Amino acid sequence: MEARRDLHPLRDAELEHYFLQLLDGIHKGWQQVKVRRFFEAFGDRVSDERWSDWLRQFGRKLLASPLSNYELAIRLQRLGELGYGEVSTAARQIATQLLARETPTPSEEPAQNSEGLGTQPASTALNLGEISNPVESFDQAAPELRPELVQLETAPALAVSLDELGMIQGQEIPLVIQPLDEPLDVEGWLTRGVERLDAGDDRAALNAFNRVIELEPNHASAWMNRGNALFNLEQAEEALSAYDRAIELRPDDGFSWGARGDTLYDLERIDEALISWNKSLELKPDNPDIWYSKGLALGINLGQWDEALINLDQAIALKSNDVQFWFYRGIALSNLNQLEDALSSWDKVLEIKPDFRDAWINKGVVLQKLGRYSEAIEANNQAIGLLSH
Is the Cα torsion angle 353, 357, 363, 367 positive or negative in sign?
A: positive
Answer with the residue of higher pLDDT: 181 or 130: 181
Domain annotation covers residue 105: yes
Cα separation, 151 vs 147, in Å, equals 11
> Residue 142: inside a domain, yes or no?
no
Is 290 inside any structural domain? no
pLDDT at 124: 35
Phi, psi of 84, deg, nearest 5? -150, 70
Q: Report the alpha-carbon distance of residue 114 to residue 45 in Å, rounded.
A: 35
Q: Going by C-beta distance under 8 Å and a sequence separation of 6 or more, which residues neighbour residue 151?
A: 300, 328, 331, 362
Query: Which pLDDT value is given to residue 113?
Result: 37
d(CA 273, CA 276): 5
DSSP string, 311-322: HHHHHHHH-TT-
pLDDT in tens, 272-309: 999 999 999 999 999 999 999 999 999 999 999 999 99
Look up the domain containing 43 and give its range. Answer: 3-114
Render pLDDT for 342-356 as a digit per residue (tens, 0 to 9).
Answer: 999 999 999 999 999
pTM summary value:
0.58
pLDDT at 213 over 80: yes
Please indicate, yes or no, if residue 291 is contained in any of the structural domains.
no
Q: Rounded to the nearest 5 degrees, what angle is found at the Cα of 105, between the Cα atoms of 100 and 111?
A: 85
Q: Are residues 75 and 181 in the same domain?
A: no
Confidence at residue 180, expressed as pLDDT on a 0 to 100 scale:
45
Same domain flag for 203 and 261: yes
For residue 131, what pLDDT band results from cuts at 50, 70 and 90? Answer: very low
Does residue 221 lie within any of the structural domains?
A: yes
Residue 143 pLDDT: 32
Average pLDDT over residues 363-379: 93
36: in domain: yes
Around Cβ 384, how many Cβ atoms within 10 Å?
A: 14
Read off the pLDDT of each residue in 191-201 and give the average, rounded to a whole number. 89
313 has a pLDDT exceeding 80:
yes
Quote the pLDDT of residue 268.
Answer: 93
Domain-located, residue 133: no
